[in-house]
Structure 1
Amino acid sequence: MTTARNFTTRALGWAAVTGAVVAAPLVLSTGTASAAPAHNWDGVAQCESGGNWGINTGNGYYGGLQFSQSTWAANGGSGTASSASKAEQIRVAENVLATQGVGAWPTCGQYLSSGTTSVAEAPAPAPAPAPAAPAAPAPVQSAVEQGAALAQQYGVGQQYQDFVAANSGVLAGLAR
């Protein structure tokens, strides 16, 4: 009985360890699935409505991202944007961005800073040309010289010279 119990205990232990090893990458990878949105919708809302996601000022635009009712409905919104959650407004805004681009928010679209629809940045000035670098010695020759210096340091200079002489054909082939 004891042998059977030990075998069962070991088998269950190995199964648990194997399961943990297999599950670890899956558990660790789920953190990246909920990455932050690609655009700064909070910045757009701050610019459009002072960050008030439930705003309705009576000007024909609703919610934190100031949707017109027709744009809201055409891009998957129901009811009015001012009564929708922030997440729902962002979902609809992503649809608007895909169909209209940042021009849907002509002033505040500057906060949509990633993706292909972002505001174009001014090109960076061209860097000053770098001064010409001095010609580098041939790598094989440099390595041979460094090896000779080390060989002298450790008192095996003559053996090193003999080694280099015996393998000069190989070293010449490396230098090409």
Structure 2
Amino acid sequence: MRPLLLLPLLPLAVLGALAFAPAPPPASDETWERLADCESGGDWHADTGNGYFGGLQIWPPTWYEVGGLRFADRPDRATRRQQITVAEEIRRQQGWEAWAYCARLTGLLEP
């Protein structure tokens, strides 16, 4: 019966492995451009009044959480490259689901 004592530790082992999973390789500039075209019409300084900002329509609380404040107070006030840098961290944490609608339209997620 001793092997049963290890069963409660299994979830911890799985979580530990996930915590150290390698980050996905960076997406290409072309990929980010396609996504921005869908999200904001390619306007990297978009402020449409919907509560999301910049070319990738990033929500300010997400921008803060992943370190966007090191570049600007809002995504639309950051450069394209800075927005992509922050977006890579968002993608690492949330995947393409962070941009679910446009990620599906552009083929980054299954329909």
Match of 2:94 among 97, 100, 123: 100
Root-mean-square deviation (Å): 1.7
Cα pair 2:66 2:86 within 8 Å, conserved: yes
Q: Which residue of the partner structure matches residue 10 of structure 2? A: none
Q: Which amino acid aligns with 1:89?
A: Q
Match of 2:49 among 44, 58, 76: 58
User: Is 1:82 paired with 2:82?
Assistant: no
SS of 2:68's equivalent?
A: coil
Q: Which amino acid aligns with 1:48?
A: E
Q: Tell me the TM-score normalized by structure 2.
A: 0.66
User: Is 1:48 paired with 2:39?
Assistant: yes
Q: Which residue of the partner structure matches residue 119 of structure 1? A: 109
SS of 2:100's equivalent?
A: coil
Q: CA deviation at 1:76?
A: 1.2
Cα pair 2:51 2:59 within 8 Å, conserved: yes
Q: Extract unaligned runs of 5+ from structure 1.
A: 1-36, 122-176
Q: Which stretches of structure 1, 4 residues or longer, exceed 3 Å deviation after superposition?
A: none
Q: Tell me the TM-score normalized by structure 1.
A: 0.42
Aligned residues: 80
Q: CA deviation at 1:105?
A: 0.4
Question: Percent of pairs identical after alignment?
Answer: 43
Q: Which has the higher contact order (CA 8 A, sep 6+)?
A: 2
**Which structure has the greater CA radius of gyration?**
1
